[in-house]
Structure 1
Amino acid sequence: MADRVLTPARRWAQAPIAARIAAIYIAARLATTGLLALAAMLSGPSSRYGAEAGIADFVIGWDAQWYWLVAVDGYPADLPRTEAGEVAENGWAFMPVYAYAAKIVGLPLGSWGAGALVISLVAGYFACIALHRLLHERIGSAAALWAVAFFASGPLAALFQVGYAEALFVMMLLFAIDAVQRRRYGILYVLIPLMAFTRPGILAFALFLGLHGIVRWVRRAREPLAGREIVHIIALGALATVTGFAWQAIAGIVTGDAGSYLATELAWRRAWGMGESGFVPFQGWIEAASFWFAQWGMPGWWGLIALAMLVAALVAALLFAPSVRRLGVDVRLWSASYLLYLLAVFFPQSSTFRLLMPLSPLWGAVVPRRLRYRMAVLMLCVIGQWVWIYHVYALGNTFWQVP
């Protein structure tokens, strides 16, 4: 009798890790589908999707429309302009890998949206595989599986089922970080260009490679650093830097305007009353700190203090928090690099939550020891997912609800 009671647990433990991750991922996707269906039921006349919304409308909603437009019409050679003569929102803000991959996959399926959904779903599964691979030697296989469950069910999990490039980018990113961690640099010559033309963020990876190289040099007495590895790190850092600026150069060549890409990105800031003075690194967060606190009826300088405290707290967590430290130096270096990148180039608004998805390796730092606490974290993940879905899909109708 005891053996029969234990059989399901033993079968689970003995199943291939890919199968266990698949079971977790499928369960998470079913839960997300239910939440999206509920959001469709609650979508009303004031929502951009209307009272007759369906899940398929969400798949191709918001920025997915831009990826679809790129796949259908390509990129504009003449930048669209507002009545004031400023560069308007246009397709140059959306990179081509996901847009055209969805078009190719969607051809036999009958639509671009179907292709986009398949790519996001499949990429999400392999991102879970990569996350477990990245974490299991640091925190143990069981804890890594829980990190996968949090990742697959978290507040941003709907991105595995809509026409956004995040799932594809994060999948490649997690495999790339794992390759760096295992000193298998060769695969990065393929992954870096693909990431660079999937979504912004490869410049953060260039910084990460630079910091990784410095750490390896400092530790070379404890961990030998071969000459070929030095060559790889330098070459890959250069590749990430060049491809990180390549899209700006391509946009400039096609449109005849060297500043077309930055002007396009800043067009989205103008909806918030920002971006009029051009791009200045770190200015977005400084302006936003004052802007948001003023919106909340508080002095703007409080926002600057809050921003400084936030940065200090993040630095302290990456340097000193035991749960973060045990993830390994490369995960911490990537997290620091990407956070610095966000501070340098983005204006925080509703999309900022989505932009945190490349920090997914940090799910390994929030896995509690006790089962009941793990279940509590999982429940909070699902609740957070519903809050996000409800606001950006069921209620979404204006620029401050963009996912």
Structure 2
Amino acid sequence: MNPRSSRAGTPSGALAFPVVALVGVVLVSLNLRTAVTSLSPLLGVIDAELGLGTGGMALLGMVPTAMFALWGVLTPIVLRRMGLELLTVLAMVAAAAGQVLRALAHDPWVMGAGSLVALAGMGIGNVVAPPLVKKYFPRHVAAVSMAYITGLQLGTVVPALVAVPVDEAAGWRVSIGWWAVLAMVAAVPWIVVILRSGPTTAGPPPAGTGGAAESMQRIRPWRSPVGVALALFFGTNSLCTYAFFTWLPAVAETIGMTRAEGGLALAVYSAIGLIAALVVPWTAGRFEDPYPVVVVSVLCYLAGFAGLLWAPGAAPWLWICLLGVGPSTFPLCLTLINLRTRTQAGSAALSGFSQGVGYTAASLGPIVFGLLLSGPGLGGGLAFLTVVLAVMCVVGRIACRPRMLEDTLR
């Protein structure tokens, strides 16, 4: 099968309503991190009212990566039973319901249950977003990927910035609950697509038609070097990124920065991802082999590590900015899911597999780095991440080569 033949199988609704689909993809992307970053700045306030305790707060911190990993594995299985659009609607409804449940919580158990529901919806959203791009915009993968990854980054940064001001004005329940409205709005375009396109979009095609759901059953990404490499690439990227999401304020304090500066350092580290979201998908779409993005990212990480260890007081903000460039491999991973697959089914299977592996690794990063930081110290933690970056260089080289998943299945 070639790219042209895969496009020929696109449902008529996918071609008839590209504006609705584009709005839908961007709105979904804005909802993929709101339950994570709107909660973190308010954990102290919530703990004081609900009595979460240290263990409860730690568990809430582990829920996002755990649910993203779990639903990375489960979502392709669910997609065999229903269409992308219907599952997207259900994901946004779950995200909204979970955030409302958290806002109404009066004990730690309800807060935990709401977090599980909300992050299940967002975990499903993580996986369905790339195949939605593949299905509706097969000729504009890089451009639409840029739009949805930018939305994802905005949905990461903005909730963290407004959480405390909204809490001070209206309380923490409003601050974490009002994001449910955005999730429900994100479901609307996909409901419109389902209603206008009929059962072809709403569910899987009948058996024997050769449609996406049936093809997905035959695609096992772990049997392809492209699939394995991209999964490990996503995993090494996520491990490094989430290690710094968790520990960068503490790292900043170890090099002499104040607590307030440590919080600002994390904001700077996250905000640089907005620039990468604009540049990297375009680069990946323009060049057959975008491996230079990996090289630049790794070199920036290593330069930041060297500055933190050997010249921490010389230019601390430069080291933080260099570290912020490091996760530029994240938008590259998301874009490659579509650039290295020929079909919507391949994109969905690869998205679920790579994100399942990636977020499992992400859950290990903060734990291992934290243990090393409290034991051998900063040097030990950075040495561990340097080994991870060495692995990233190898698997990134394989993932970036211009080969297709479907052509390399064994």
* The two structures share one fold, judged by TM-score above 0.5: no
- Structure richer in helix, relative to its length: 2
Which structure is higher in RCO with an 8 Å CA cutoff and minimum separation 6? 2
TM-score after normalising by structure 1: 0.29
TM-score after normalising by structure 2: 0.29
Of structures 1 and 2, the larger Rg is shown by: 1
